[in-house]
Every structure is written in structure tokens, then in C-alpha cells.
Structure 1
Amino acid sequence: MSSAYLLVSHGSRDPRPEIAMQHLAGLVNHKLQKSISPPKSENIVGIAYLEMSSKPLHEQITKFAQSALAGGCNRLKIIPLFLLPGVHVMTDIPTEIALAQQTFGQDIIIDLEPHLGSKPGLEKLLTKQMATIKTQAWILLAHGSRRPGSQQPVETMAANLGAVSAYWATSGSLESRVKELIAAGKREIAILPYFLFTGGITDAIAQSVEELKLHFPTVTFQLAQPLGASAELADLIWELILYT
């Protein structure tokens, strides 16, 4: 059964995440085409957005599915590029997929794959990023959610990485974690943004780190980059596609 793939992210008004998504889709498409004999002339990897798009997600899925069907694919796999299993992954995206599936009946099967954050290899990728910075303490900074249980994956990831967790939009703020580490005697602190791409929030995080440098001049702060549209991330998505 021939498949096409649609990478779905949250969406943003900032143009940088869309550029990164396009680049990432190109990397994944290249890897897939190399595995197909003969390669297809058209892209079999597309991108779509849950929010901040001119069309709802189910219409974006329908449009790409029509293209995939015309290209000889009879299965479309939706890959949520979300780091956490929140309401978007658990409820919103499945609802949109169901709406799109109604358009096609059995002509093309639309499957929902596991979200990116469920992939064990993500931890290895973050560890590789951390290895480039020498510091006494790490903070894993995620967006945060008030949904019950939503922060547990962040807590687990932080513990596995030897970091402490912090949240941008909920309690357990970056500044509070910094103060706790300073009280514990740490004078070198690095922050790892648990986000896919550079955008408005990561810009705000960078500004917050500059303010922390002014407030705590005896402490050295370093800010790592978000995951980004790297070849390593494309490899992780490729593995997710292969083994699901």
C-alpha cells in the first residue's frame, strides 16, 4: 500500500516556523524518495497547520489527500509535530481527520500516527544539543499547560536529561527555577527551550534570559536553540514513519 505523509504543526503568525516546516518536509521527502523504487515525481510529504491557517485543518488534509490519491497513494499518514500529548493531539487533530475521511470513504485511508514527542529518540537529540554547552545546571523550559497531567512528560524528560523543568505559561516559571538553582549554589545555568522552532516565544525567552543576566550578574547564563529543522530531526521523523 503506497503512502503519503502530512506533517501537522500548531501554526504561527510568525513566518519562521512555516519556513522551518517547509525545510523539514523537504528533508523527510528526500529520505522517503530514496527508499522508493522508482522515486515518485511529486512530493509525498506535505505540511499543514492546526491553527493560524486560512483553511481549517480538515480542508488542508483533504487537499493534500486528493493530490496523494492522484499520485497513486491510497494511504495518508498524519504525523503531529507536537512535543506533548495535549488537547490538540488527543482531541482536535483526530476530529479534523475524521471530517476529512468522510470526503473519501475508502478511496484513501487517513491514519493518525504517534506525535513526535512520543518518540524515544527525541531524548537523544536533546542530549546531543546539551553536549555542546558546558554548564553546572540545565533548565528544560516548556510552554506549559493547565490540562491535568499534561506536564508529566516534561517532568520525565527533564529528569532523564538531568535537568530541572520550567514553564513559560504556567507556574514553575523560568525565574523561579533560576532562583532555586542559585540558592543551591549554581553559578552556571543553561536553558534548553523545549520547542520545535524559533519564533515569537523563543524570542521572548531570549529577552527574558538577557533580563536574568542583569538581575544576577554573578551568574553565567547560556541559552540553547530549539530543535529546529535539522537533518537529525528529519531522521527522527523518518524512524517514526518506518516503525509505525
Structure 2
Amino acid sequence: MEQLRSSWLTHLNPLTDPSSLSVYILIFHGSSDPRSRSASEALTSHFRDRVSSTQPAVGVANKSTIAVKSDSFSSLEQGTSSLLQAQPFDPDLFVHAAYLECHPLPLHQQIEQIAQQIQAKNPLKKISLRLLPVFLLPGVHLLEDIPAEVAQAQHLLGDSMMLTVTAHLGSQLGLGQLLNERISPLPMDAWILLAHGSRRLNANQPIAALANDIGATVAYWSTPPNLESRLQECVRSGYQHIGILPYFLFPGGITDAIAQAIAQFSQQHSTLKITLAEPLNASPRLVDLLIDLANE
């Protein structure tokens, strides 16, 4: 996998073809909670660092070979066969964040603004925009809202550049491995994978399958079976130490509410020990999954 990711990083190089540019936009849900905004900016920054690691220090490489450790944000080895005269590489130009909600501009205008900014600085280049939905669940936002916003952005931009939407982050098979790595050092009598949940038909099936893969019981915050019912089942089974793994990207209002619900339940069951893990956050492994996503 590491060798494959190394070759994919070469593909990610925005300037491998000097006549064209590949630009990556990470699309987040958006939140009024500053912790969520800070975490999304950190994840975007780490992804940008990984993409920019495919660039030479001066000029533009038309061929590069990068070897990258999956647990590191920096490249270990880089070779270039030739350099082309060009403007210095500006990593901020090729990786951006955009938000579906809680932003002054609607998503389609954010995309248009980013595209116009890049085109103005590179008027002679062919530009392609790859949009990466950083969403865990295939709900209404992913299936309806984002496609509608992207269609509006494409209409505004016309044929000047092509917009391509990748699969969403939650579709990545590597998420199961990431979650296993989170829970394996913490032995529990039982683990509960707690996701937001969706009322759309069959939308929760991937989460249930993911929970099964990591040996956890699934619960949902907005739909049944909810957290309390799963905790009651654990109590009836005689479990004493239960782990809660929140299937959320970043901390925010819901993760705060989960912590409060666990505290209230613990008061009613004083012999029960409940451990609440952190959400996914901007980890190196999450960046690996975004790199994989960008190359699908």
C-alpha cells in the first residue's frame, strides 16, 4: 500500500504537466463551532503539505519519485529528472477548503471564487478542479446538496474548467483499519461505534457493516438504535467497561452532547466504567485516506 501511495502522490503533483493544473478542494460540512473549523483547516493544511511534498524546491519537475511513510506528513525521498523554468511553487494555490454550511458564501460561489483566483494567476493553463467531499455518511448533503452546488458552479464557470467530484471520505475501505488502530490499544468488554445516523433508506448500512468489521456494536445519535439503548444492553450483558467510539470527524456540539449523555448514564450506573474516545480529527492516517480518495 505504501508503494502504491508513493506512486499516487506523483500523480497528485499539480504541475507534472506544465500546461495544466490540478486543483484540489476539500468540501466540509461546516460548523459554527470554532473547534470544527480549526480542525478542518488543519486537515486541509496537512493534505496541502503532502501534495506540495511532490514539488522540487525550485521550478517545476516534470517527473518525480516520492517515497512517503504513511505516519508522516513529510516526504522522505525525491528525485527529479529535469526542471522547467516556472514561477515558484505556491502550495496555497492548489489545495483549498470549502464549506457546505456556516460560510458567508454558498458552496457554488466558493468554488467559483477559488477557480477565478487560480485562473487569474495561470491564464494560459488548463485547470481541472477535483472536489473531495470530507463526509462520513451518504446522506442528503452528499447525495443532493453537494451535487446541486457543484452543478451551479459548473454552470457559472462554463467550459473554462472541469469540475470532478470524487467519492466521499466515508467510502474508503481504510477507515476500518484506522478505527481498529484507535481501539486495539484499549481493551474493553464492549465497543460501541456511535455515528450521526440518517433516516434515508439503507443509508446506515455502511456504518453497521463498519461496526461489524471492527467488532463493535453500532448506535446512532439521531435514529434508533440510540446510545442509551445500546448502553442498557451492555448493562444487561454484565459488561463493566464499555468504550464509545464517536464516528465523527471533529469535536463539536454533538460530541459535547454525547459526553453529557454518557456522564448522566454513568451517574445512574456507578459500577460501570465508560470510556469516550476522541473523534477522528486531523490525523496522518486520515490524510492518507484523502490522498487515496483524490486518486480514485
CA contact (8 A) 1:68 1:76 kept: no
Query: Aligned partners of 1:41, 1:146: CA distance in 2, in Å?
Result: 43
- Which residue does 1:138 correspond to in 2? 191
Query: Aligned partners of 2:212, 2:121: CA distance in 1, in Å?
Result: 45
Tell me the SS of whatever aligns to 2:98: strand
CA contact (8 A) 2:247 2:279 kept: yes
Letter of the 1:202 partner, please give it.
T
Residue segments in structure 2 that go unaligned for 5+ positions in a row: 1-19, 61-87
Match 1:85 to one of 123, 138, 147: 138
Does 2:77 correspond to 1:27? no
Residue 237 of structure 1 deviates from its aligned partner by: 0.6
Letter of the 1:103 partner, please give it.
L
CA contact (8 A) 2:29 2:101 kept: yes
Letter of the 1:156 partner, please give it.
A
- Comparing 36-45 with 182-191, greater Cα deviation is found at 36-45
Query: Aligned partners of 1:136, 1:211: CA distance in 2, in Å?
Result: 20
CA contact (8 A) 2:98 2:111 kept: yes
Q: Report runs of 4+ in structure 1 exceeding 6 Å deviation.
A: none
Structural mapping, 1:130-169, within 5 Å? 130-169=183-222
- Which residue does 2:77 correspond to in 1? none
Query: Aligned partners of 1:184, 1:66: CA distance in 2, in Å?
Result: 59
CA contact (8 A) 2:30 2:102 kept: yes
Tell me the SS of whatever aligns to 2:228: helix
Residue 218 of structure 1 deviates from its aligned partner by: 1.2
Does 2:277 correspond to 1:224? yes
Query: Aligned partners of 1:36, 1:181: CA distance in 2, in Å?
Result: 52
- Which residue does 1:47 correspond to in 2? 97
CA contact (8 A) 1:7 1:78 kept: yes
Question: What percent of counterpart residues are identical?
Answer: 43
Match 2:258 to one of 205, 209, 212: 205
Does 2:25 correspond to 1:6? yes
Deviations, residues 56-107 of structure 1 (Å, cap 9, x unaligned): 1100111111223334460011100110111111111011011001122221
Query: Aligned partners of 1:11, 1:231: CA distance in 2, in Å?
Result: 21
Letter of the 1:7 partner, please give it.
L
**Structure showing the higher helix proportion among its residues:** 1
- Comparing 102-111 with 38-47, greater Cα deviation is found at 38-47
Query: Aligned partners of 2:117, 2:177: CA distance in 1, in Å?
Result: 35
| Structure 1 length-normalised TM | 0.95
CA contact (8 A) 2:194 2:245 kept: yes
Residue segments in structure 1 that go unaligned for 5+ positions in a row: none
- Which residue does 1:62 correspond to in 2? 112
Structure (1 or 2) with the larger CA radius of gyration: 2
Tell me the SS of whatever aligns to 2:53: helix
Query: Aligned partners of 1:180, 1:91: CA distance in 2, in Å?
Result: 36
Letter of the 2:281 partner, please give it.
G
Query: Aligned partners of 1:235, 1:166: CA distance in 2, in Å?
Result: 27
Count of residues in correspondence between the two structures: 243
Residue 42 of structure 1 deviates from its aligned partner by: 4.1
Tell me the SS of whatever aligns to 2:177: helix
Structure 2 CA distance for partners of 1:95 and 1:221, relative to 1, 3 Å = same
